[in-house]
Structure 1
Amino acid sequence: MQLPVRPVVPGFHPDPSVCRVGDVYYLANSSFEYAPGVPIHRSTDLCTWEHIGHALDRPSQLPLEGVAPSGGILAPTLRHHDGRFWMITTLLVDEPRMFLVTAENAAGPWSDPVWIPDARGIDPDLAWDEDGTCLLTWTRFGEGIVQAELDARTGVLLTERRRLWQGTGGKFPEGPHLYRVGALWYLLIAEGGTERGHAVTIARGPSPSGPFEAYPANPILTARGTDAPVQSTGHADLVQRPDGTWAMVYLGVRPRGSSPEWHVLGRETFACEVRWDEGWPGPAEPIQPKAVPDLTEHLAATGGPLPPSWLAPGAFPTDVLKAMDNGRRLTATAGPAFVGRRQEHLYVRARAVVAADAKAHGPDESGGPGGSSRPGGSGGLGGPVGSGGTAGTGGLELRIDARHAVRVEATGDRVRAVARIGPAHAVLGEAAATGQTTLELRVVPHSAATPFGTDMGPDEIVAGTSGPDGFHELGRIDGRYFSTEVAAGMTGRTIGLTCSEGEVLFRSFTYSGADDPLTLDAQ
């Protein structure tokens, strides 16, 4: 079994769920504490995916007040039934609560939530039997995979829950998906935890409620105990093509550095063909791009709305970042503010022109300008910084969460690079600010090369400023400290704009990413 080594949707797109309508495939992913929630992608070949929107794009659908890192939206299931798209998921704020939304078009608009108060647990799945009965299958802590009939219009459970399967003995049997194939029903789940022991297992039975017989050769997919470059593979979903063949999407991570290695982009979406053998499915040839496409995304002071890639923890980006007639204003109100995008590439250069003392005026309530392009796309870094007005402290930040982050910020007449690793805070370097402050963060290959040593992390984060005379480095730090293995949790890195005090006016932001560092060096 040769699994793919390149994701079809890179960077912090975990828990994939897929469905097909005609010749088009649709994909949903977890979004955790970030808004908007549940990114939706579309494809015609399962390899190249276009981001078309979010299932949860307004506060009435996504109440995130009090959400903790790696809380929020967990493991959606996306299905198409009776002419509508259905997305069901769990909102984890204090305690898990399930809800579903529907839409005629996967790009939206999606309905307000139908809450399911009597289903306690996570990872819900929807399926419909021959007579149209809606079946809710989910993970209930301590019981494994359970099921009940659901009135999808009201969120009321119509039957008592019944236990279906506890898996093959791996920890955390979760992420169930139920399918009818011929005369049999198949129950696909994840086991082993979403770390290096992650696996996909399957069982089948004569009805959607079982009894279920486990595949004797389980797991059908795992990378545990191997030296495969993609690890933690699991949490899969199956889809049938129009020609009757099948494919699978699943999550995985790309760890790097010295043993035991670290992954920094979060759990990404991978895909492969499926081959059936004696009535059981299993992975076959990889589905993957020839390379993860390079990307340049530019957020300018004038243009259209924020790119759909932009997100914020615990808030919607347009609630945090306000368009002005001379840039975009980010304000620290209840605490530090952050808005940005996923790090989708192994290597990155991000730049922002900041005017911490610039006068902010003329708000544009339309949501603000912006845009994106592929390499060779639009935009420079903006014009000269103004003066006068309200002071603030902020700039560029790369983070796994608020406690594990690197930022390069302007404060008063100084620019400094700061790292946070849990309770430890360190100033990596500082310099005098100039009339125009262009801040830059770089994610570069690790410079350590000690044979059999422990000093080589997955990458290095370099913070500095850019000007007419080039890049001036303020400091650098090992990227392992901004990995999931150090920070814990379920997300990946994001990179964007931050304000820790007062308000900051940004002229522009540019993200350039590639999996080949030489591509960025040539820019």
Structure 2
Amino acid sequence: MRDAVGAPPQLVSSEIQPIVSGFHPDPTICRVGDDYYLAHSSFEYFPAAPIFHSRDLVTWTQIGNILDRRTQFRAGTAGPSTGIYGSTLRHHDGRFWFATTNVSDFESGQVIVWATDPAGPWSDPVFVPEAIGIDPDLCWDDDGTCYLTWHVLDFTVGGQGIRQAPIDLKTGALLEPHYPVWQGSGMPMAEGPHLYRIDDSWYIMLAEGGTERGHCVTIARGPSPRGPFESFPGNPMFTHRSSSHPVQNVGHADLVQTPDGDWAAVYLGVRPRGSTPGFHVLGRETFLAGVDWIDGWPVFREGRFDLPHDAEGFAEEFAEGSLDPRWVAPDSEPASVAEFDSEGGLRFLSWGEATDVLCTRVKDFVWLADADVEVAGAIGLRLDDRHWCAVIFEGGRAHATVQIGDIRQQLGSIDLGTRTATLRVSTTPPATAPVPFGYAGPDDVVLSVLRDGEAIEIARLDGRYFSTEVAAGFTGRMLAVGAPSRDGVVRRVTYRPVPD
């Protein structure tokens, strides 16, 4: 890959640049031969659990979504930050295994699927109703026994610790009553367990402190998957809490060994911007670190890898008859939201709710996206169903609409008098100074329409309203497209990062 003038690509340290940017949290990784596979949680969006492939740990390509049938991801309870939570991806005895939690179908327990090809198809699910909670892990002992380890949790009492039991993967039955294992180093919200057999020891790694600014990674080791486990004296082994590091909330890590015997780790982090308390808008992203082993304990080396600057856009005309795996639907299915037009583009089947859209993850701080629409169409920015904005075209007019909490307002409009339009949503650095001389959110969000190739601004919004610190939850910004009429067609969507 080379840039426009033929120079080598710009390289960025893995300490500050994610390997998978945008809303891709709770990374879990495995290697088979020279191939690495990486999967993520995805919450209310379907298809769910995006999966990526790499040969070098540095450049990643999405190869699909693991849960692409509703039998695998039951709809159940809808809403922001429901759905698919933290997971574990492993390869054992010729099969890829994926264990996860569907909070929208919580009482069914953990969900386990398998595949021989990580691009799919993945099997029908096996449910584990004896294991209620989140963040399941699978590991296998030398005799082939599989152990399920998870964080016991309900939404009344809260977290109740890390439990484990051997499991029959064919039926989902626990082979003995579940029992406690290592409960962490003493911080709140010990969750996200992963277990590893390394040399003659078993290691259990947790996320502790919550997935906000106090997030961290802790570890312990013992003689078997059951323990007893000895806590690392230097816990937390990895954190950015109480620091000025540009990447915060780091945690929920997973280890992988390279073909030459080295080690690496993936972990989530956020990149807050703007005035205090800092606002992260892209969601929790996936980062990469090298790992050294010192006195039998892993040590993260964050800047070990040089990454190509992740600045790739896309142009999509929806002419293939199948959607790129980047497109997902909140609390719905893409096939229920839109259908392909015979002349190219998409027609949308419903309108009126923030779920009547197709979405793709925003990956950049400064970017612009255009939608070429005919008769009717819309493009906007979505954080959840109560925090979104869009520029909407219908009846020859384009108008800007925003919803913040319970307040929905039309901000402005322009009469185009045309049957077609190019609508734009973009972000730009904030126009105001930081606190105490201004408010300086992470950015401004601009809603525009193009006329004769020139962008005419309809509305400009404070980007803080589309951040996790304002809206809460576990997701990130999504680019959303739809149409207020079945007569409308979204012919083409383009997305382009802009250097900041």
- Residues 32 and 120 (structure 1 numbering): CA distance in 2 closer, same or farther, change over 3 Å? same
| Residue 493 (str. 1) matches residue 493 (str. 2) | no
Which of 447, 454, 460 in structure 2 is aligned with 1:476? Answer: 460
Deviation at 1:445, TM superposition (A): 1.2
Q: CA RMSD in A?
A: 1.8
Q: Secondary structure at the match of 1:93?
A: helix
Cα distance change of structure 1 residues 104 and 287 upon mapping to structure 2, 3 Å threshold: farther
Distance 1:84 1:18 in 2: 14
Deviation at 1:302, TM superposition (A): 2.9
Q: How far off its partner does 1:414 sit? A: 2.4
Q: Distance in 2 between the 1:30 and 1:417 partners?
A: 32
Question: Displacement of 1:168 after TM fit?
Answer: 1.3
2:193 aligned to which of 176, 180, 190: 176
Report the equivalent of 1:119: 131
Deviation at 1:499, TM superposition (A): 3.8
Residues 205 and 453 from structure 1, CA distance in 2 versus in 1: closer, same or farther, beyond 3 angstroms? farther
Alignment correspondent of 1:340: 359
Q: Note the C-alpha offset of 1:23.
A: 1.2
In 2, Cα distance between equivalents of 1:95 and 1:450: 43
Counterpart of 1:368?
A: none
1:447 maps to a residue whose letter is A
Give 3-state SS (helix, strand or coil) of 1:481's partner. helix
Q: Give the Cα separation in 1 of the matches to 2:306 and 2:391.
A: 34
Which residue matches 1:416?
399
Amino acid at match of 1:69: P
Distance of 1:334 and 1:59 partners within structure 2: 23
* Residue 329 (str. 1) matches residue 382 (str. 2): no
Distance in 1, Cα, partners of 2:474 & 2:295: 36
Equivalences for 1:501-516 in 2 at 5 Å? 504-514=488-498, 516=499
Cα distance in 2 for partners of 1:171, 1:451 equals 32
Change (3 A) 1:238 1:6: same
- Measure, in 2, the Cα distance between the counterparts of 1:407 and 1:333: 13
Amino acid in structure 2 at the alignment position of 1:460: D
Alignment of 1:17-166 (within 5 A): 17-93=28-104, 95=106, 97-141=109-153, 142-166=159-183
Preserved contact between residue 313 and residue 497 of structure 2 (Cα < 8 Å): yes
Structure 1 contact 353–509 (Cα < 8 Å) conserved: yes
Deviation at 1:427?
2.2
Q: TM-score, normalised by structure 2?
A: 0.92
Equivalents in 2 of 1:224, 1:395: separation in Å?
A: 40
Instruction: Indicate the residue corresponding to 1:406 in structure 2.
Output: 389
Q: Is the 8 A contact 1:264 1:484 kept in 2?
A: yes
Secondary structure of residue in 2 paired with 1:485: helix
Amino acid of the residue matched to residue 77 of structure 1?
A: T
SS at match of 1:319: helix
Asked whether the 8 Å contact 1:136–1:147 carries over to 2, the reply is: yes
Find the aligned partners of 1:480 and 1:29 in 2 and give their Cα distance.
25
Separation of aligned partners in 2, 1:450 and 1:3: 28
TM-superposition CA deviations, 1:310-364 (whole Å, max 9, x none): 111122223311001233101216845010200011111111122235xxxxxxx
2:267 is aligned with 1:284: no
Looking at structure 2, the residues matched to 116 and 41 of structure 1 have their Cα atoms a distance apart, in angstroms, of: 26
Cα displacement string for residues 166-197 of structure 1 (whole angstroms, at most 9, x for unaligned residues): 21121110000001111111000000000000
Q: 1:293-320 deviations in whole A, cap 9, x for unaligned?
A: 2222112153453221111112222331
2:415 paired residue number: 432
Letter in 1 for 2:88: T
Q: Residues 259 and 454 of structure 1 are in contact (CA less than 8 Å); yes or no, is this contact kept in structure 2?
A: no
Displacement of 1:418: 1.2
Deviation readout 1:235-291 (Å, 9 max, x if unpaired): 000011122211100000000001111000000000100011111111014255544
Whole-angstrom distance in 1 between the partners of 2:100 and 2:168: 16
Aligned to 1:395: 378
Q: Contact 2:222/2:230 (CA < 8 Å) preserved in 1?
A: yes
1:119, CA displacement in angstroms?
A: 0.7
Deviation track 1:384-428 (CA, whole Å, cap 9, x = no partner) reads xxxxxxxxxx50120100100010002334211111110122322
Moved more, 217-226 or 451-460: 451-460
2:103 is paired with a residue whose SS is strand
Alignment counterpart, residue 217 of structure 1, candidates 204, 223, 234 = 234
Q: What is the identity, as a one-letter code, of the residue corresponding to 2:316?
A: L
Q: Could you list the per-position Cα deviations for residues 197-225 of structure 1 after superposition, in whole angstroms to 9, with x for gaps in the alignment?
A: 00000011111101111111001110100
**Partners of 2:248 and 2:269 within 8 A in 1:** yes
Write the letter of the residue equivalent to 1:136: L
Residue 143 of structure 1 aligns to a residue whose secondary structure is strand
Task: Say if 2:302 is the partner of 1:297.
Answer: no
- How many residues align? The count is 479
In terms of mean alpha carbon deviation, does 142-151 or 129-138 score higher? 142-151
Cα distance, 1:130 vs structure 2: 1.0
Tell me by how many angstroms 1:144 deviates: 1.2
Gaps of at least 5 residues in structure 1 are 358-393, 518-523
Q: Which one is further off, 253-262 or 448-457? A: 448-457
Deviates more, 1:61-70 or 1:174-183: 61-70
**Paired letter, 1:497:** V
Residue 20 of structure 2 corresponds to which residue in structure 1? 9
Report sequence identity in percent: 47
Query: Residues 449 and 83 from structure 1, CA distance in 2 versus in 1: closer, same or farther, beyond 3 angstroms?
Result: same
Q: C-alpha distance in 1, partners of 2:417/2:240?
A: 50
Flag structure 2 segments of 5+ consecutive residues without an equivalent.
1-12, 154-158
TM score, norm. by length of structure 1: 0.88
CA–CA distance in structure 1, aligned partners of residues 205 and 38 of structure 2: 17
2:290 aligned with 1:273, yes or no? yes
